[in-house]
Structures are given as C-alpha cells and as structure tokens.
Chain A
C-alpha cells in the first residue's frame, strides 16, 4: 500500500516540478527583454550598478531581478506652476484656482523695495535620465526651490515698474539661464525650457492706486486731445472767415474799380460826343431829362412870371384850380 502511494506522490511531485519549471521559464523569458518607446529612454541597473542607457527599440536584459529597468519619458515637457495652480478636470476642462491662495509663492520684493505679485511657469524636460533618477533625492522639490529662489533674485534686481511692464522678457530669459545653472550644479539631468511669466501685478491692496495712475494718464490724454481738437476746429474756421473777409474786400475793391472804369468809359464816350457838338448835346440831354421827369410827376405846377398869384395853367393831376 505505502509503496503505491509513494510512487504516486513521486509522480505528482515530478509533474508539479515540471509545471513550476515551465512557469519559471516563461517568467524568465519575459523578463529578459523590453521595449523602449520613441519618447522614452531606459536605464538599466545591474546588481545595483548602472549599466547602460538605451533609446527606443527592443533590448535585452538579465531576468529574475538581476537587471532593474527604469523607463523615463525624456521628451515629455513637464511644468511647475508658481503663484497659482490650474487643474484639468475631466468635465470642466482647465480651471484656474484663485491665485491669492498662493500669495506666499507669488509676492516678492523688487529692487526698489516695493512688492510685486508674480506668477510664472517653468517648463522642463528630463534630458539625463540616470542623473535625474539617482543624483538627487527630491527632484521636483529641487526644481521648485531653485525656481522660487532664482525668480526672487531676478525680480529683486529690478524696479517694480520694470517688473510690471517693460522687463518681462529680460526677467524670463535671465531666470531660465540661472535656474539651469543651479540645477546643473545639482546634476539634476534636467533641461529647462521656457520660463513664462503669467500675471504680474501689484499686490491686491495696492492695485487700486496703480490703476489710478493709469486712469490719470488716460484722463490726461483725453484732456489734451479735447483741447487739441478744439484748436483744430476753431482755428481753421477762423482762418476761413479771415480769408472770406479778405476776398470780400478784394471783391469790393474790384467792384469799385470796375465801376469807376465803367463810369469813366461812359463819360469818355459822352465827352467825345459833347465835344463834337457841345450846345446841341447839352440841350438834348436837358430835354430828355425833363421829359422823363414830367412823365413821372403827378403834381406839376407851371408859374408864369407875368401872372400874379399862383395860377397853374396846367396841372397834370387833372382839374385846374384858379
């Protein structure tokens, strides 16, 4: 009896062993190769020691935990936000959180010892995966600490007006260079992309007075424009009037001259005629005038010197009176 059992056990054990070996074989096989995507790099650590870094493709490694595989996305652009946060929520898209929650991050001193509220973003890539993984302990914290420190250093060298208005690009460039310098010193294996300033404002409680300055500037411009416009309406109008006055005077002068010339010419003609036959001409003109007058008058009285008293011989108006 026992012998049969032992034989059975041996058989079962052998079978189990076989299955185990197959499983181990498969696991080993699967653990001896790996693929790396086009935006990735793989770091292989063999028995604790760094072996190699590999790019995209199919590669082999020792299985069973002898080789450890770390895959890093080296093409992905990562970002750190300062002074504000955005969240991407699946149904609402990006929402931006109130920046005054992050005043500690965003308020900083400018070179003229004023305060500015600066929000910015740092973009970076992991360019050296081995260094990123093994040279420093808190990678993101390093990036954040250095960014904050550097941004304050850069802003601290400038006046608040510069920070708010004209110096933005300079600040971004200087910050990027300095952050890279320090992260390289820590051997982070990080490549800094753009440093982009977002909202840069005076602190909330001071904002109103900064706006006041802008408003005052606009008011000033408006006043000046109004005055200029008034000038540009009144003066041309006056010039026009002035021109008209002069033209009128010229017209008057011309008319006067022309009339004089006309009168002179008429007189000249008559004079010529008169000189040819003076007595006749004079008489003719006289009679013509009288004729015209007589036609016109309603009340003509002819007085005879020899008749005493007023005896009109002829009245035009009808009815003689004695």
Chain B
C-alpha cells in the first residue's frame, strides 16, 4: 500500500516538474526567461518546444507578430497655416524582446511610448510642410493641368468655345509628397523606438481632412467655382445661339437677293429674245403687220355695248350703196 502511494506521489511530482520546465513557443510568439522576476539569457524567437529550469524560472511571452498602433486624430496646423485633422496608424514589432521587457514591460506600456513619440514626430513633420505635401504624392496633376490648358488654348485658337472646368490656382508644386512625409515621420520615431526593442515598420497617413470650420469654407469655394463655370457655360450657349441666328438672317438675305437677281436676269433675257423674234419677223412688213394687228385689236377690244357709227362710204358697206 505504502509502496503504491509512494509511486503515485513520485509520478505526480514528476508530472508537475515536467510541466514546470516544459514550455512551447507558438508561431507568432517569442519568449524571455525570467528568474526571480529578472530576465535572463537571450530571447527565444523561434517557435517550438523548449525546456527551462522548473519552478525558479518563468516564461514571459511577447508577441512576435506585426502589431498596429492607432494615433488619436490630431488637429495640426500645416506650414501654410491650414488646420487639418491627421489620423495616423503605424505598424511595429518587437525585435528585441529583452530590451522590450526591460523598458516598457508590455504592449500596454509600449502603447504610451508609441503615443508620445509618434504624436510628436507627426506634429513636427506636418507643421513643417504645406498642406499639399500631405495630400499629393507626385506632381503629375500639374503636368495634366498644363496639358489640358494647352489643349484648351489650341481649341480656342481654332475658334471653338471651350469651358475650362479645371480649377483655380491651388496647384503648387510639391517637393516631398505624402509617402515621403510618412517616411519622415517614421524615420525620426524609429531611432527612439529601437531603444525599446521596437522596430517601426511604417507610418500610414490614414486620413487627412479639413478641420470642420475650414471645411465649410472649402465647400463654399467649391460651390462658387462651380457656379462660375455654370454661368460661363450658359453665356457661351447664349452666344452660340445668337451666332446661329445671325447666320440664319444673313444666309436668308443672301438666298433671297440672289434668287431675285437671277430671276430678273432670266426674265430680261427672255423678253429680249422675244423682242428680237418679233422684230425679226414682223419687221419684214411693218405695214401689213400694223393692219393685221389692228384687225385683231378691233375684234378683241370692242365689246357688244360699243356704239358703232359707220359712214355709208365705209369700205364694208361699199356694196350696199
């Protein structure tokens, strides 16, 4: 009996000892061994099964994965005095677990360090650059703008009326650009953070927006811009309409006057030709024609109501005498 209990006790003891010395580091984790609360040795970064001294040594796990940090959206004035709200986010990981544990102790501790360092770095970089640098990344919008302006000028030279729908003078050149700006923020923070065993992978400018009061001014500008363009379009339309109407009356007059001219000419020619024919034929015997024509005239012109007074000497009544 006693023997069995002893065996049992030994078995339990072995079990307990085993589980106090055996530990597993999962993928995405790293670990530091602490002895009596103090870290010893180098961090274990590779996943797998390990052994440590039982009971006196503890395992502190640290996340090996890429972690994210969110900044609190900040109102920051840019170099050109525009108040914007900057919402940043960063990716970081623990590359030196020992330094990490020694300095910030945990992810929670790390967060406050990250908050302070990244906030300062962000403020610093943003306020030293104009707003455009945080919005745009390249100057390609300027090239496009120039190309469009050129196109519009050419069209106007050809007499077409084009509306310039593009905008304003807000297109300044950038020197740095959004990506470089993010990199600048990360760079200055990186040096600080490595002391805590933290590698800062990148900083993303997740959102940049106008501060509310500035926003409404921007909207006003956008609205008045659009209204200006609309007005321009309308007046060009009106102008085009009047041009066409002018063309109508001009062409109309031209057609009518030309037709009149041609018609008169044709009539004239016709009449002249007729005259010539008459002259040629009737001219052969003018007196006979006179006689003939008079006879016809009498026949046609004298109506039944006319009173005829004939002398008995008339040729017609010659034979009545």
Contact = CB atoms under 8 A, between A and B. Distances in A.
Interface of A: 45, 47-50, 104, 107-115, 130, 133-138, 141-142, 145-146, 148-149, 152-153, 156-162, 182, 185-187, 202-203, 205-206, 208-210, 212-213, 215-217, 219-221, 223-224, 226-228, 230-231, 234-235, 238-239, 241-243, 245-246, 248-250, 252-254, 256-257, 259-261, 263-265, 267-268, 270-271, 274, 282-283, 285-287, 289-290, 292-294, 296-305, 313
B256 A271 contact: no
Contact of B170 (A113, A145, A153): A113
Q: Is the interface of B mostly helix, strand, loop or mixed?
A: helix
Interface of B: 24-29, 46-49, 63, 65-68, 89, 91, 131-132, 135-138, 140-141, 144-145, 165-168, 170-171, 178-179, 201-202, 204-210, 215, 218-219, 222-223, 226-227, 229-231, 233-234, 236-238, 240-241, 244-245, 247-248, 251-252, 255-256, 258-260, 262-264, 266-267, 269-271, 273-275, 277-278, 280-282, 284-285, 288-289, 291-292, 295, 298-299, 302-313, 315-317
A114 B167 CA distance: 10
Contacts of A246: 259, 262-263, 266
Nearest to B294: A289
A256 B255 CA distance: 26
Contacts of A182: 202, 204
Contacts of A134: 27-28, 65
B267 A249 contact: yes
24 contacts: A47-B24, A108-B207, A115-B219, A115-B222, A149-B205, A153-B178, A203-B222, A213-B226, A223-B241, A224-B241, A242-B256, A242-B259, A253-B267, A267-B289, A271-B284, A271-B285, A282-B291, A285-B295, A286-B316, A290-B316, A297-B304, A297-B307, A299-B307, A299-B308
Contact of B259 (A113, A231, A245): A245
Given A134-B28, A260-B278, 14 more contacts: A115-B219, A135-B28, A136-B65, A156-B137, A157-B136, A186-B201, A242-B256, A243-B259, A245-B259, A253-B266, A256-B271, A257-B273, A264-B280, A274-B288
B237 A161 contact: no
Contacts of B145: 159
B221 to A, nearest CB: 8
Contacts of A234: 248, 252
B255 A285 contact: no
Contact of B251 (A48, A187, A228, A235): A235
A232 B48 CA distance: 87
B28 A152 contact: no
Given A156-B135, A157-B136, A297 B308 contact: yes
B316 A287 contact: yes
Given A209-B227, A293-B299, A112 B259 contact: no
A60 to B, nearest CB: 20
A109 B230 contact: no
A274 B291 CA distance: 12
A221 B193 CA distance: 62
Given A145-B204, A153-B137, A224-B237, A108 B209 contact: yes
